Each structure stands twice: as structure tokens, then as C-alpha cells.
Structure 1
Amino acid sequence: MAFLFQVTAYFILGIFMDAVPAVIAIILILANTGLTFAQITMANTISRILSGNQTRVGMGIYMMGSFMAGAIGTSILGSVLDQGVQSKIIASSVQQHI
């Protein structure tokens, strides 16, 4: 259910890409709420599947993986968005000089 919530929010974001930044922010908040629900569910599932001593190690590995995935994903997204902004700035400056 949480993943469906997240996918739906990103689909709506694709429809409203040219909307006011406040609308985009609200849609992103909804998408991240879906991600939070998914992370809570995954942590609960891992803690129930693993036995006593394995639970601590398993949760540590899960949290480390979650943290690293968030950091790497944010870096990649930032790089992609930054390249898009640079190309738009370069294109507009070239048109101004013509």
C-alpha cells in the first residue's frame, strides 16, 4: 500500500510538473510520506523474521543500507537536476548573446 501511495504521488507529480512550486512541494511531501510508511513496514518485517541476536545485526545492516541508499540517491538526483539547470542557463545565455 505504501509503495502504491508513493508511485501515485510521483505519477501526479509528472502530470503537474509545470505547477506552482508549492503544489510540487505538497506532492513531494505525500510521496515521501509513502516512502516513510514503506520503511517502517520493512523494518517491522525484518525484526519479526530474524531471531534474537540476528535482529540487532539485521536492523543495523538495514538502517545502514537505507541511509546509504538515501545519500546516494540524493546525490545522483542532485547531479541530474544540476546538469539540467546548467544546460538551461547556458542555452538562455547563448540566446541572449545572439
Structure 2
Amino acid sequence: MPKGSFAEFNSTTTTQITFYYDDGHEEAFNVPIPPGELVQQLPELLHQAWLTFHLVDQTVMVNMAKVEKLELKPPVPELQGQGTFFNSQRVTALHRGAVGRLKMTE
């Protein structure tokens, strides 16, 4: 895989992590760790005060106390336990407005 911020996303060897900050901003990183392997490290990572991402042109440090939400792509079904909901769907304003008017396929 090519190095750098614009490297091609490969879902078998790379996990995309998107941070949503309490000020409304968001930032995504591709890390060269398979999703299943990242899930094993996730509990420890979430308890760190700061996470550091070394990019080709800069180093980025994320203050985890400022993170409201975290998204991982591809999905990681290995993440299980209390508070985990499988087969969930995100509902957007478009979906809410369409309920009852358009046939929704599953």
C-alpha cells in the first residue's frame, strides 16, 4: 500500500478511524492495522489521554477527552459485549421523512 495521507483504502489490511470532536469538527485516519487486530487494541486505546498518528508530512495528536464519537470502517463485528447492537441501521432525516411514503427495502 502506498504511504501517505492519500493512500488507497484497503479494508482487509487498513482500518479507517473517524473522530468526531466536541466542537463539531471531524477527522479521519487510515491506519495500517486490520480491523480485527484493531478491535483487540481498542479498549486500551480508548483509555489513552492522547493518540498519536504519524503521517508522511506531519504528526497528529488527538486529545481523547475532546472526542464525542468514534467510527470504524469497515465494520468490526468482533466488537461484542454489553452495549453492542448488531444489525443496526443509521436513521437520517431523509429516512425519517420517507417513512410511510416510500417503500423501504431491507
- The TM-score with structure 1 as length reference comes to 0.24
Larger Rg: 1
Higher RCO (CA 8 Å, separation ≥ 6 residues): 2
- The TM-score with structure 2 as length reference comes to 0.22
- More helix per residue: 1 or 2? 1
